[in-house]
Amino acid sequence: MAVPPIQRPPHQARLSNSWLLDIVLGLLVVASLPLAVVSIPNTLSVVARLLPDDLDQAGLMRTNGLSLPALMLTVPLVAAALRRVPAPHLLLGGLVLVALSEAAGGYAGSEFFVGVVRVLRGVGAGVILAATLAAVWHRAAVLRALWAGMFGLSLLTAQALALWPLDAVSSWRVTLQPYPLVTGVALGLAAVHLVAWTLGGRSAGPVPSVRERGRLLLTAVPAAGIAALAISTATEGWRAVPVMVLAVVAILGLLALASIGSSESRTSAYTMVAVGAVLLPSAAQVTLVEMGGLGGPGLRGLWVPYAVAGVLAIVAAVAVRLFAQGVGRRVASLGLLAMVAGLCSVRLVVPAADGMVLTVPFSLLAAGAAVAVTAALQGVGAGAAMSGLSLGCAGVLAGFLLGAGVQMAMLDGVRSAQELVDSFVGALHWWALAGGFLLVMIIVLAAVMARRPGRGVLVDEPEGPGTPPDVPCAGLPPADVLLVRGADQAGPDGDGTVRSDGDDDPSTVAIPRVGAVMAGQIVEPVAGAGGVTPAVPPQGQSPEDAGSA
């Protein structure tokens, strides 16, 4: 009897590279993600007393804030470029840009030069964020969870990490080159990772489809608009109410764009917008309120709570990745609810003279964000994950604008030092309330939009031999038939990737929906194509036929 030949997609052998590559990649994620996110805070005002008299301090502070807009615009472009440039190359290039920005920062002496350095660093940071997510996508399951945990921890500690090198400095240029040693270590790890990846067979990374690339480029539009808005508010001296109104409009625009696509991609985008808009702006305000000059424990008293929160975030992310597959939306909502609880605890315990008390809000915020991001990334393709990351980065700036508007309203009319401290604390409490309401609104929005049928779902290829896809068959939306192409069949670009834009392709076959999800294949529902005869797999030569031959 003739039986179909047992074929294993060639990428599976490549994806089972040595454990050494996974270890190097894990260390690279741990070193590079905080390095990328620490470029977001604008800390030049902390060393304003060290600025030369011939430099425009207000202008320098504005140009020093260009890093985040550059980061926002870079992430979607890099994600779209993954079709042509592998993630290891991009990751090394991003760290080279960060290293160049730190080297050039030591020679900065004008407003223009500072702007160039900060834009260069923002571009490098954006490349790192997108490239690390792409690099871990098809590796060991724990690496994607590590990325989510480190992403949440980096957002939580970004303000503290940006302030730490500025203690008792003698040059304002330290703000432009805060961690040269860490940059060198990360650059060396990236070089080792590239060599190991090359020697291991140059395994194919995630490649966004044509439709996903279009959506990625679409996310650059609100990012550019929010960046222009932020620059305008900084240069034109806007009042508090217009800033808050436009920040709310920007967040609503991001949520509207996040509503495009399948149910799973919407969940991913909503979660990223929520985490981006709330976590870093909240942690930054808590960190500033807890400085020693305002009666708090200072940075030294915050590192233990930060460390505990980081460990819990990574452990929670790994647990979700390993044991909570198939229920991504529900777990993502639970993670966001944990962040709501963290904001409630901020209102209760901040300000606190004892830094250990902050373990509670920090842990809830970091672990909640890690759980939400890890769960949201399950069941989506690489393009949808990158699109969510792009919207999340834009959400960071929108959240900062909203928080800045609240601070401007609270600080208006301050006449004494005590009123200044009270106003900062009041602004933090109002912001925690606004952030909590925003998270609840997004949770409700995600639950409502989950009832709408998606246009299609992309099932990731297995991450290793015997690993099931993230999306179970029961999670697919209703459809008449499914278009399936084997992962071992090369697409138009020779990369074995299925496009989800509906283009006709001779290697794509239609089969009935029942039982269509198979390991090693990319599946996409197509409505209105019922009655198609299933394709028959190629027949292999049976042992009897071979013997008779």
Place of tokens 């647990």: 319
Residue with the bigger pLDDT between 382 and 466: it is 382
Band (pLDDT 50/70/90 cuts) for residue 199 is confident
Size of the chain, expressed as the number of residues it contains: 549
The yes-or-no verdict on residue 344 having pLDDT over 90 is: yes
The yes-or-no verdict on residue 501 having pLDDT over 70 is: no
SS3 338: helix
Give the type of residue at 88: P
The yes-or-no verdict on residue 7 having pLDDT over 70 is: no
Band (pLDDT 50/70/90 cuts) for residue 143 is very high
Give the type of residue at 439: L
Residue with the bigger pLDDT between 16 and 245: it is 245
Band (pLDDT 50/70/90 cuts) for residue 328 is low
Looking at residue 171, its pLDDT comes to: 87
Which class is 9-206 in CATH? mainly alpha
Looking at residue 181, its pLDDT comes to: 93
* Percentage above 90 pLDDT, the chain: 41
Residue with the bigger pLDDT between 40 and 526: it is 40
Band (pLDDT 50/70/90 cuts) for residue 537 is very low
Cis peptide before 351 (omega within 30 of 0): yes
Look over the chain and give the mean of its residue pLDDT values, rounded to a whole number.
78
Looking at residue 227, its pLDDT comes to: 81
The yes-or-no verdict on residue 491 having pLDDT over 80 is: no
The yes-or-no verdict on residue 510 having pLDDT over 50 is: no
Tokens of residue 117, six digits: 């350095």
- Please write the tens of the pLDDT for every residue from 354-380: 889 999 999 999 999 999 999 999 878
pTM attached to this predicted model: 0.79
Looking at residue 481, its pLDDT comes to: 31
Residue with the bigger pLDDT between 399 and 485: it is 399
Place of tokens 């925003």: 438
**Nearest by Cα to 195 from 408, 431, 24:** 24
Residue with the bigger pLDDT between 275 and 8: it is 275
- Please write the tens of the pLDDT for every residue from 375-405: 999 878 888 899 999 999 999 999 999 988 8
Sign of the CA dihedral with 349 first, then 351, 354, and 358 last: positive
Looking at residue 335, its pLDDT comes to: 95
- Please write the tens of the pLDDT for every residue from 230-272: 777 766 677 888 888 989 999 999 999 998 877 778 889 999 9
Looking at residue 228, its pLDDT comes to: 81
- Supply φ then ψ for residue 541, to 5 degrees: -75, 125
Residues of the chain with CATH 1.20.1250.20: 9-206
**Nearest by Cα to 532 from 513, 511, 516:** 511
Tokens of residue 369, six digits: 């964000």
Q: Could you tell me the CA-to-CA distances from 187 to 165, 194, 495, 539 in Å, in that order?
A: 20, 11, 28, 50
The yes-or-no verdict on residue 352 having pLDDT over 70 is: yes
**Host H or E run for residue 351:** none
- Give the mean pLDDT of 48-56: 83
The yes-or-no verdict on residue 489 having pLDDT over 80 is: no
Band (pLDDT 50/70/90 cuts) for residue 106 is confident
- Please write the tens of the pLDDT for every residue from 61-99: 888 888 999 999 999 999 888 888 899 999 999 999 999
Band (pLDDT 50/70/90 cuts) for residue 182 is very high
Tokens of residue 306, six digits: 């930060």
Band (pLDDT 50/70/90 cuts) for residue 218 is confident
The yes-or-no verdict on residue 165 having pLDDT over 80 is: yes
Looking at residue 453, its pLDDT comes to: 62
Band (pLDDT 50/70/90 cuts) for residue 214 is confident
Looking at residue 542, its pLDDT comes to: 41
- Angle between helical axes of 19-37 and 87-105 (0-180°, round to 10): 40
SS3 38: coil
Strands 509-512 and 521-526: unpaired
Residue with the bigger pLDDT between 468 and 166: it is 166
Looking at residue 499, its pLDDT comes to: 37
